[in-house]
Structure 1
Amino acid sequence: MRFKDVFSIIGPSMIGPSSSHTAGAVRIGRVARKLAGALPEIAEIYLYGSFAETYHGHGTNLALVAGLLDFHTDDDRIKDSLTLARQSDMRVTFHPMQQSLPHVHPNTAKLVLQAGDKKYEVVGCSIGGGNIEIIKINQYNIKFSANYPTLLIFHNDRPGMIAMITHVLQQYHMNISHMKVERASRHGDVLTVIELDEWRNKEVLKHLLLVPDINEVHAIDLMEGDQQ
């Protein structure tokens, strides 16, 4: 885990009671919301480990739904998120699981979202101090922190794809701090995760979608208004 500054250690500005069970949960929910691109109609939320044991008492359920509503960690509306979700016609179901997922942090949630004709699955862990790790997107085992502007690029696997993607980013003077490529199968579907130092021009998203064999591009940017 890379810490940018002292706020990464002491935690974000937040509504309590727990940076792990509330602030981290909000951020997991926000990542899922950014991936979906809109408020989902249906959210199935699976809770593991200590999330499953204490989600009512620590407000993890409120926090995850607040994230899906795109609230920041210090938003006073977090406590009313379940009511606000119902008013927004989002159907939420919680599934506290008896067994933890193997080899992952105990504060883990899986969010399965239906947004229009799209379905997305996000698995995230709250690892302390409001920090998170996203460890799975759909069928791809991947890892990123959402501490940096992050691109999720779904594309076909063919020679030259990474070069074309990085060429587009270079045209917009965007510096890559970290990249991970995960393939579903050889010559099949790919998810490329790119963490950037900063956004310079969001027109890059439209440009990337013009690249042949890129199917979807999603921007995950939790930094604005959500201090770490």
Structure 2
Amino acid sequence: MKYNSVFDIIGPVMVGPSSSHTAGAARIGLAARNLFGRQPKWAKIHLYGSFAKTYQGHGTDFALAGGLLGFATEDTRMSKALDIAKDKGLEIVFIEDSAKTDHPNTVRLIIGDDDDKLEIVGISIGGGKVEITELNGFQLRLSGNHPAILIMHNDRFGAIASVTKILAKHEINIGHMEVNRKDVGKEALMVIETDQNVEDNILLELKEADHIIQIAKIVS
């Protein structure tokens, strides 16, 4: 299997017991936190396939919590993440979901706070590597091997050009780009993989570009 999608995560240096069920789960949780932009106050976590069957014994539960808390896979606090989450006011509900999925190690995280919420679907594909396959109903493939920015925008003429013009001005090279939309003229999602991390001042400039609604970034 090739790990060459947009969000490939190398590893793992990890707290065990399992690279797929622990390290991979932690990386999915961390990706959700990064895309949300802060620690959520609550999380509803749907577990599918082998994740649903073994999540307590293999540490998938505390790994997902650790990721949502911002812990790296090697963080020694990982095994205590459920207790730490409770102390920090992060309420987590795990749901063993029987729906069929394309991959046995699949999790859907719905996270939020008083102001906003986010929903992602992630899969752990082995060796600590993961893919994010869905974000707020948009299909995508993210793996984390390179920096990425995710831009929600109105599906209008000039939206993509306004973004690429700003990136070119700041000499940000695009390694991979895809655009998904739910319907013509509605909201769309740009996923842009870059060769270097995009600084916050550039993100602020992008937010002011034509037809842009929201921006999140993933740092390598």
- 5+ residue gaps, structure 2, are none
In 2, distance between residues paired with 1:150 and 1:123? Answer: 17
Alignment match, 2:81:
81
Pair 1:170-2:168 in alignment: yes
Alignment match, 1:29:
29
- Normalised to the residue count of structure 2, the TM-score between the two structures is 0.94
Map 1:3-152 onto structure 2 (within 5 A).
8=10, 11-101=11-101, 104-152=102-150
1:18 CA drift (Å): 0.9
Is this contact kept in 1: 2:162–2:210, CA < 8 A?
A: no
- 5+ residue gaps, structure 1, are 224-228
Choose 81-90 or 111-120, whichever is displaced more: 111-120
Is this contact kept in 2: 1:109–1:125, CA < 8 A?
A: yes
- Aligned residue for 1:76, secondary structure, equals coil
Q: Percent same amino acid among aligned pairs? A: 44
Is this contact kept in 1: 2:158–2:210, CA < 8 A?
A: no
1:200 CA drift (Å): 5.2
1:2 alignment partner AA: N
- Aligned residue for 1:126, secondary structure, equals strand
The superposition leaves residues 111-144 of structure 1 with CA deviations (integer Å, 9 ceiling, x where unpaired) of 0011232111010000011111100000111111
1:113 alignment partner AA: I
* Superposition RMSD in Å: 1.4
The superposition leaves residues 156-193 of structure 1 with CA deviations (integer Å, 9 ceiling, x where unpaired) of 01111111111111122111111110102101000111
The superposition leaves residues 186-220 of structure 1 with CA deviations (integer Å, 9 ceiling, x where unpaired) of 01000111111111533211010111210100011
Is this contact kept in 2: 1:65–1:85, CA < 8 A?
A: yes
In 2, distance between residues paired with 1:115 and 1:184? Answer: 25
In 1, distance between residues paired with 2:177 and 2:138? Answer: 14
Candidates 1, 4, 24, aligned match of 1:2: 4
In 1, distance between residues paired with 2:53 and 2:100? Answer: 11
2:20 alignment partner AA: S
Is this contact kept in 1: 2:155–2:186, CA < 8 A?
A: yes
- Aligned residue for 2:56, secondary structure, equals coil
In 2, distance between residues paired with 1:200 and 1:218? Answer: 11
- Aligned residue for 2:162, secondary structure, equals helix
- Normalised to the residue count of structure 1, the TM-score between the two structures is 0.91
Is this contact kept in 1: 2:148–2:197, CA < 8 A?
A: no
Q: How many residues were matched structurally?
A: 215
In 1, distance between residues paired with 2:122 and 2:56? Answer: 18
Shift in CA distance, 116/212, structure 1 to aligned 2, threshold 3 Å = farther
In 2, distance between residues paired with 1:99 and 1:188? Answer: 29
2:47 alignment partner AA: L
1:39 CA drift (Å): 1.0
1:90 alignment partner AA: L
In 2, distance between residues paired with 1:131 and 1:50? Answer: 16
Map 1:132-211 onto structure 2 (within 5 A).
132-199=130-197, 201-211=199-209
Alignment match, 1:226:
none
